[in-house]
């Protein structure tokens, strides 16, 4: 059908080219005859009245003098209703001022312009049409008027409506697309400037790319379709729910600027998306991040409102996802700071501005230092140490984390080799985030670095969030680095939903109990839970490390339930390498004294 339509359009365009010359002669002849009324002659002319393409005659000021029957059919407007109107009365607004300026310049230089207009019919629908405009002059060279010939490029009515729908809707979810959304947003803002308020709700799915990569694009499309349906259910009939791109949706709320009502809609979207999705009899889980901007408080035009809704959505995502956020002016400063950090991060990697700090891991049985966790720190040449919470998320979002992670491995190994006299027998753990395991290429590159540098003395730490990136890929990664001699550690155990299944499906050498459990050791239930985790770890042949130890009472309770290893501020904060070496020497002197 598409091929047939293309051939038809080519034929119609050839007919249009032939018709242009005939209409120019016809129009100029009538306009130049002072003893006749051009309007009456054209109206009676069979070529003008019955031409298959729409024709508009306008005067030197571009006011419509006459239109033919094809124009009436194309636009749904009657001749008597449009005579005297400016020729641009039915333009959709999708042609910007620069395009109009180009058209005027072409008419001035060559008396002709060919291009594409987006018009609007009587029902308010926008459609595309190929247009030729000719400036007609009298024998003295003075401008008499304009002849505009437009060809209905969509063929018959059914084809035209189908192609018009496809131009304005997303074929996967059947929701309005970006074009239709902008059109409706512009119209709504024009109405709301008269006193009504409105809002934009920006939505995207957390970690959808990870899920999509793991289940395949076809199943990912099924999940997206279900998500679109759920989001649409949360909106009112008067609202517009559009899919702008990928897993990014936007909701246009008309006549609604009440913050409580908007929060309720946004919360319903978050709740609906968090429910299980069933794709091919398999349950999948994703969450949503939602940002809200309100008119007129947050902006006066559509672009600004969309930008601020998206900024609020990113803020909700950075707070952990599965959350909502209203735009705040402070977000502008944060957005600018993020761009600044990204630029400076790239320079920092090139200029070697990073360093490793080491937090000791203590063996409770004899008080010795059994190893340390290597933590990357950024020492900015002007600002000093930059908080990891400020630059690590940016590094992960931009992909810089891959290069930074490779540097961490190389630097940790270099220190183990160069200072083996004092570090021999210690295990240095390095963190690998979910962002470093997003693709097969990233996993392959990381394995290559470990193979090149060697794994003797290294432990690779992963969190549960890293494990869901790609179960098969991560399993392969763990198996290959074990062959290289790397130990593996599951960090922050207990914070996820599937911790026990991870222990079943993946084999780790070390299990690190999350700080949140250690903080609540005074609670009988949590005390018993930590004791159970330690016992389970021993049965599975894993070393168990309690993280975040800060008090002597915690140390005593952990000794009581048989925890062998601890890490936390009670013993030491993360130390620059020279201070870590000094700490090691001092601890060894204490034990030999």
- At 316, which CATH number? 3.30.70.270
β-strand pairing of 458-462 with 487-493: parallel
Q: How many domains does the chain have?
A: 3
Helix (H, G, I), strand (E, B) or coil at 365: coil
Domain final position from 141, 162, 183: 162
What pLDDT is attached to residue 47? Answer: 54
- Using CA atoms, how far residue 20 sits from 15, 33, 61, 116, 438, in Å, is 9, 20, 21, 16, 57
pLDDT of residue 285: 86
Res 525: pLDDT: 77
CB-CB neighbours of 145 under 10 Å: 22
Q: Which residues contact 299 (CB under 8 A, 6 or more apart)?
A: 293, 305, 307, 308
4-24 pLDDT, tens per residue? 333 333 334 434 444 454 455
**Do residue 515 and residue 381 come from a single domain?**
yes
Is position 320 within any domain? yes
Judge if 477 and 562 occupy the same domain.
yes
- Say whether both 459 and 560 belong to one domain: yes
The answer to whether the pTM exceeds 0.75 is no
Boundary (domain end) residue, out of 136, 162, 188: 162
The CATH number that applies at residue 71 is: 3.30.450.20
Q: What is the pLDDT of residue 228?
A: 95
Residue 24 forms part of a structural domain: yes
Question: What is the distance between the alpha carbons of residues 114 and 111, in angstroms, rounded to a whole number?
Answer: 11
Report the pLDDT value the prediction gives residue 495, as an integer from 0 to 100: 63
Domain with 363 in it: what CATH number?
A: 3.20.20.450
> Is 179 in the same domain as 146?
no
Q: Say if residue 306 is in the same domain as residue 344.
A: no
Whether residues 490 and 380 share a domain: the answer is: yes
pLDDT, one tens digit per residue, over 238-273 is 899 999 988 999 999 888 767 778 888 999 999 999
Quote the radius of gyration of the chain (alpha carbons, Å): 34
Strand partners, 241: 251
DSSP string, 296-348: TTT-SSHHHHHHHHHHHHHHHHHTTSSEEEE--THHHHHHHHHHHHHHHHHHH
Beta bridge partners of 384: 380
> 205 with 342, same domain?
no
Question: Taking phi first (over 0 means left), then psi (-120 to 50 degrees means alpha), and beta for anything else, what does residue 84 get?
Answer: left
> For residue 264, what pLDDT is reported?
87
What integer pLDDT is reported at residue 122 of this predicted model? 73
Asked if residue 573 and residue 519 are part of one domain, the reply reads yes
Q: Do residues 434 and 210 lie in contact, with contact meaning Cβ atoms separated by under 8 Å?
A: yes
Residues 323 and 341 in one domain: no
Expressed as residue numbers, the domain containing 125 is: 2-162
pLDDT in tens, the chain (593 residues): 333 333 333 334 434 444 454 455 455 444 444 444 444 444 445 556 666 678 888 888 888 888 888 888 878 888 888 888 888 777 756 666 777 788 888 888 888 888 877 777 777 777 767 788 888 776 677 787 888 887 554 445 555 566 567 778 888 999 998 888 888 888 778 765 555 678 899 999 988 888 888 788 888 899 999 999 999 999 988 899 999 988 999 999 888 767 778 888 999 999 999 898 988 888 888 899 999 998 888 887 888 899 999 999 998 888 788 888 888 765 556 667 777 888 899 999 889 999 999 999 999 988 999 999 999 999 999 989 988 888 998 898 888 999 999 999 999 999 999 999 999 999 999 999 888 888 888 899 999 999 999 999 999 999 877 776 567 778 889 999 999 999 999 998 876 544 566 677 788 999 999 888 898 888 887 788 899 889 888 888 899 999 999 999 999 999 999 999 999 999 999 999 999 999 999 988 887 76
pLDDT at position 593 is 65
HEC string for 116-162: EEEEECCCCCEEEEEEEEEEEECCCCCEEEEEEEEECCCCCHHHHHH
Supply the pLDDT for residue 357.
97
Write down the pLDDT at residue 96: 64
Question: Where a domain ends, among 162, 185, 205?
Answer: 162
Whether 168 is covered by a domain: the verdict is no
- Report helix, strand and coil shares of the chain as percent, to nearest 5: 50, 25, 25
Alpha helices in 419-498 (DSSP H): 420-423, 440-453, 464-467, 471-483
Asked if 282 and 391 sit in the same domain, the reply is no
One domain, residues 11 and 128: yes
* Contact status, residue 580 vs residue 358, Cβ threshold 8 Å: yes
Cα(105)–Cα(9) distance, rounded to whole angstroms? 28
Give residue 93's pLDDT.
Answer: 62
Q: Are residues 526 and 436 in the same domain?
A: yes
What's the token pair of residue 410? 């190389």
In a domain, 167, yes or no: no
Instruction: Say if 235 falls within a structural domain.
Output: yes
């Amino acid at each position: 059908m598409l091929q047939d339509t293309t051939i038809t359009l080519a034929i119609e365009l050839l007919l249009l080219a032939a018709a242009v010359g005939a209409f120019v002669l016809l129009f100029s002849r009538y306009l130049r005859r002072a003893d006749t009324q051009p309007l009456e002659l054209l109206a009676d002319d069979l070529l003008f009245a019955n031409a298959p393409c729409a024709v508009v005659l306008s005067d030197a000021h571009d006011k419509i003098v006459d239109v033919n029957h094809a124009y009436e059919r194309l636009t749904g407007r009657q001749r008597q209703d449009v005579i005297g109107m400016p020729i641009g009365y039915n333009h959709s607004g999708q042609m910007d001022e620069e395009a109009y300026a180009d058209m005027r310049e072409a008419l001035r230089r060559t008396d002709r312009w060919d291009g594409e207009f987006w018009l609007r019919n009587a029902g308010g629908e926008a459609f595309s049409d190929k247009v030729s405009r000719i400036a007609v002059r009298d024998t003295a060279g003075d401008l008499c008027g304009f002849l505009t010939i437009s060809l209905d490029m969509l063929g018959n009515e059914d084809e035209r409506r189908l192609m018009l729908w496809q131009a304005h809707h997303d074929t996967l979810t059947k929701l309005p697309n970006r074009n239709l959304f902008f059109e409706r947003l512009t119209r709504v803002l024009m109405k709301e400037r008269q006193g009504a308020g409105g809002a934009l709700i920006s939505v995207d799915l957390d970690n959808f790319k990870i899920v999509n990569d793991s289940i395949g694009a076809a199943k990912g499309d099924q999940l997206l379709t279900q998500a679109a349906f759920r989001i649409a259910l949360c909106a009112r009939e008067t609202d517009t729910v559009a899919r702008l791109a990928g897993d990014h949706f936007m909701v246009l709320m008309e006549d609604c600027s009440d913050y409580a009502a908007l929060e309720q809609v946004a919360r319903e979207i978050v709740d609906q998306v968090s429910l299980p999705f069933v794709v091919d009899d398999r349950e999948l889980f994703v969450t949503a991040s939602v940002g809200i901007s309100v008119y007129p408080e947050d902006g006066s035009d559509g672009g600004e409102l969309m930008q601020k809704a998206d900024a609020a959505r990113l803020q909700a995502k950075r707070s952990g996802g599965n959350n909502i956020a209203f735009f705040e002016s402070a977000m502008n400063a944060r957005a600018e700071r993020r761009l600044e950090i990204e630029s400076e991060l790239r320079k920092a990697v090139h200029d070697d501005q990073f360093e490793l700090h080491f937090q000791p891991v203590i063996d409770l049985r004899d008080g010795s230092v059994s190893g340390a966790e290597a933590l990357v720190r950024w020492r900015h040449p002007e600002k000093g140490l930059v908080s990891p919470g400020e630059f690590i998320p940016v590094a992960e979002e931009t992909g810089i984390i891959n290069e930074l992670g490779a540097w961490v491995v190389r630097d940790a190994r270099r220190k183990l080799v160069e200072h083996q006299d004092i570090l021999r027998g210690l295990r240095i753990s390095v963190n690998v985030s979910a962002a470093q395991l997003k693709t097969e290429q990233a996993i392959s590159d990381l394995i290559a670095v470990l193979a090149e540098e060697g794994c003797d003395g290294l432990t690779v730490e992963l969190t549960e969030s890293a494990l869901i990136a790609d179960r098969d890929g991560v399993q392969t990664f763990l198996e290959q680095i074990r062959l290289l001699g790397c130990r593996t550690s599951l960090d922050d155990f207990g914070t996820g939903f599937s911790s026990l299944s991870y222990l079943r499906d993946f084999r780790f050498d070390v299990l690190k109990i999350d700080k949140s459990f250690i903080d609540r050791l005074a609670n009988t239930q949590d005390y018993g839970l930590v004791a159970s985790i330690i016992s389970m770890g021993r049965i599975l042949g894993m070393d168990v490390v309690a993280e975040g130890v800060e008090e002597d009472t915690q140390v005593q309770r952990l000794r009581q339930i048989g925890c062998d290893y601890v890490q936390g501020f009670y013993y030491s904060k993360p130390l620059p390498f020279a201070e870590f070496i000094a700490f090691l020497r001092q601890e060894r002197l204490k034990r030999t004294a």
